[in-house]
Each structure stands twice: as C-alpha cells, then as structure tokens.
A = this chain, B = another copy of it.
C-alpha cells in the first residue's frame, strides 16, 4: 500500500504495519461506535499497547483524524476511477452509471468513512485544507471528465480551455453547476438512504437510484445510449 523502497529494516516495516493497524482499528471503531467516539485509548487497548505509544505514530488525535480523512478520499477516488476505467471512453452514459453506482456502493461499504468526509462536521475539528484538498479533488476527476465531455458533445461548445483541470473552480460555470447538481443527487440519495431516512419508505432504492441517474443522462443530453443495466450494489 506504500512505496516499496529497496530494503526496509525490520523497524521500518514494523512502523508501517503499526501505523496501518492504528488506522484500521480507528476505522473499525468509527464503524461500530460512531465517528465522534474515536478514542486513542481504545485503539491502543485493542492493539495491546498503552495509549501513549500511539503518539509515536500520530502527534495527536486530530492528526489521526486528518490521516483518516485523506485515506478516505483516496479510497473513494480509487473506487470511482476504477469503475470509470472499466467502461469504453466514449460511452458516456455507461461511464456515468459506473461512476455514480460506484459512489453509492463505496458509501455503503465504507459507512464510517463516508460519514467522516460527507457527514456532520466533527466538533472541535477543522481539517487542514491544504492537506485535504488534493485528495478530495482526486475524487471529483472522473465525474467532471464525463460531464465535461457530455456537455461538449451536446453542442454547447465552451470547451476551449479543455484538458487537465486543477480544481473545480477553474471550470466553466455550466460544467461546474452540472457537476455539483450530479453530486448533490448522488449525495442526497445516498445519505438519506444510509442514515435511515428513506428506510421504511422505499422498497427498491437500487431502482430509484438508477432512475435518478437516467434523469441525469437526460439533462446531459446523453440519454440515447444504453442504460447498462448491471447490478448496482
């Protein structure tokens, strides 16, 4: 999961493993006890260490949280990129389905991490923007690419400054709006569902979700292509 430098000493390998285990236990704890209940002492306890040992790896609780947030964004970004890559580049509908379904699947497979990055902000904690932002941006790349191409294909030809983008704010207004709208759709449906507000209401959330993505494709003018009905979750 990290760089495989030529030779790592026992000590270095242990250090990497221990740091990884701390984060794994933290994730498991957030999953079962909630994000706010994350406790260094509890992590240490589970690992059979004393609490101060954690400080060899993370200078404070907040730094651990920051690391978990960055990891979460990367995990989400990987999932979205991987899903996107499995579809032909010019099948924009297929890609949109792949990406949006992967988003929902990731959220359900990583509830705690989803809450961590998209849920209610943590009380006394403010993520250091410069650390968090690059990871967060990575997660937006595939969706932005699809929507940008879709809008360009649909004829609204503002695609002069194309190619690589560095953060959403550099995008044209239309594309940016469409991306936020799409994201809001995904996020709205997923968080209502995940946090139990659509629970007793909707029997087939999969179908509803897909139906909403179909609406997105219509808005983007790419609805003519195949809806790609695989299983979504």
Contacts and interface: CB of A to CB of B under 8 A. Distances in A.
Contacts of A198: 180
B35 A120 contact: yes
Contact of A197 (B118, B122, B169, B192): B118
B187 A121 contact: no
Contacts of A121: 34, 195-196
A208 B195 contact: no
A161 B187 CA distance: 32
Interface string A16-35: 00000000000000000111
A115 B118 CA distance: 12
Contact of A201 (B176, B188, B197, B219): B176
A119 B120 contact: yes
Query: Lowest 10 A-B CB distances belong to which pairs?
Result: A188-B188, A184-B188, A34-B123, A119-B120, A36-B36, A184-B189, A187-B188, A115-B120, A120-B120, A168-B201
